[in-house]
Structures are given as structure tokens and as C-alpha cells.
């Protein structure tokens, strides 16, 4: 089995681990406080699953370079996207018009994904982990691990 780590990039990072068996294994957000602490944490994050084959990262800028350095060392395939990529694919047009509304919808839809793909409950869901979950769902569709990401949202 292969694994996909989905990352909502930031100092406060959203993370979600998916398997090629179409399951969501875990999700969380973590505030690293600084780029230096994030840099030190990335090797540990990438070691969470021995068979980690793919990483999908939503976001860009200097923090992306930190991830890239470690991913290149480990020869892990990475897909880099912006929020508009998965939002356009997963949300109705009206659900992504305003940033605040899009984040609220991300929470609603991520809870549905958790309900359908995970054995865990959405007890600690925040915007960062919700966006990581939806980024990962989008990634699973791109990897052909699921046929239709939207089918998990409606």
C-alpha cells in the first residue's frame, strides 16, 4: 500500500494522511511557531508512514522551499497546488466566491470526508486540517485512488 501526505502549508500547518486503499488515516494541524521549527519537524513528519510515496502541498512561498529540500532528499513525489485547484474541482462556484465562505465550506465538507473515509471523528477539526483533508481528497483523485472526489462531499 502507498500513502499520500496532504499539507496545507503554513507555520500553522494542516496535515492529513491518506492510503491508496482510499482511507483517511489521520489528520491534524500544528502550529510550529517559526520556519526554523517547521524545518526541523519536516523529517519527522515524513517518517510517519514508511510507505509514504506522495506529498501534495497547497501553498507556496519560502516555506515550500523548506519542504522541497527534504522531499528531494527522500525522492518523494510532490504535487504542488494552490487552493483554487482543489476548490474549483470540489466546490460549486457559489461556495468559493469569498475566502471566509470557502473556509466555512471546507469545514463542512472535510467533516463529511472524515465520516466516509476515516475511523476517527472530527473532534479537533480546524481550517488548516480541513483544507489538508480536501487537498488530500483532490490528490487521491489525481492519483486515481478514487474515481470522484466530489462523491465524498455530497
Provide the whole-model pTM: 0.94
CA 62 to chain centre: 18
Task: Report the C-alpha gap between 95 and 48 in whole angstroms.
Answer: 33
Domains of the chain: 3-152 (3.30.420.140)
pLDDT at 132: 97
Paired residues of 4 in beta bridges: 18, 54
List the alpha helices (DSSP H) in the chain: 35-46, 62-74, 83-90, 99-117, 127-142
Instruction: Give, in degrees to the nearest 5, the angle at Cα 12 between 85 and 106.
Output: 40
* 66 close to 59: Cβ distance less than 8 angstroms: no
pLDDT at 16: 96
Give SS3 for 62.
Answer: helix
**Closest C-alpha to 129, from 44, 11, 12, 2:** 12
Query: What's the mean per-residue pLDDT of the chain?
Result: 92
Task: Report the C-alpha gap between 71 and 18 in whole angstroms.
Answer: 17
**Closest C-alpha to 53, from 140, 131, 146:** 140
Kindly state the average pLDDT of the residues 116-120: 89
Quote the DSSP letter at residue 30. E
* 55 close to 4: Cβ distance less than 8 angstroms: yes
Task: Report the C-alpha gap between 19 and 27 in whole angstroms.
Answer: 12
pLDDT, tens digit, 9 for 90 and up, residues 43-75: 999 988 888 999 999 999 999 999 999 999 999
Amino acid at each position: 500500500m502507498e500513502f499520500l501526505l496532504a499539507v496545507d502549508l503554513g507555520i500553522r500547518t494542516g496535515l492529513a494522511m491518506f492510503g491508496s486503499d482510499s482511507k483517511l488515516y489521520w489528520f491534524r494541524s500544528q502550529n510550529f511557531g517559526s520556519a526554523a521549527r517547521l524545518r526541523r519537524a519536516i523529517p519527522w513528519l515524513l517518517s510517519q508512514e514508511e510507505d509514504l510515496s506522495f506529498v501534495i502541498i497547497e501553498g507556496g512561498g519560502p516555506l515550500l522551499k523548506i519542504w522541497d529540500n527534504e522531499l528531494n532528499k527522500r525522492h518523494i513525489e510532490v504535487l504542488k497546488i494552490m487552493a483554487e485547484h482543489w476548490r474549483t474541482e470540489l466546490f460549486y462556484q457559489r461556495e468559493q466566491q469569498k475566502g471566509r465562505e470557502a473556509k466555512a465550506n471546507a469545514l463542512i465538507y472535510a467533516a463529511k470526508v472524515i465520516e466516509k473515509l476515516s475511523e476517527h471523528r472530527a473532534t479537533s477539526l480546524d481550517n488548516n486540517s480541513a483544507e489538508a483533508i480536501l487537498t488530500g481528497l483532490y490528490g487521491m483523485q489525481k492519483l486515481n485512488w478514487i474515481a470522484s472526489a466530489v462523491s465524498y462531499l455530497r
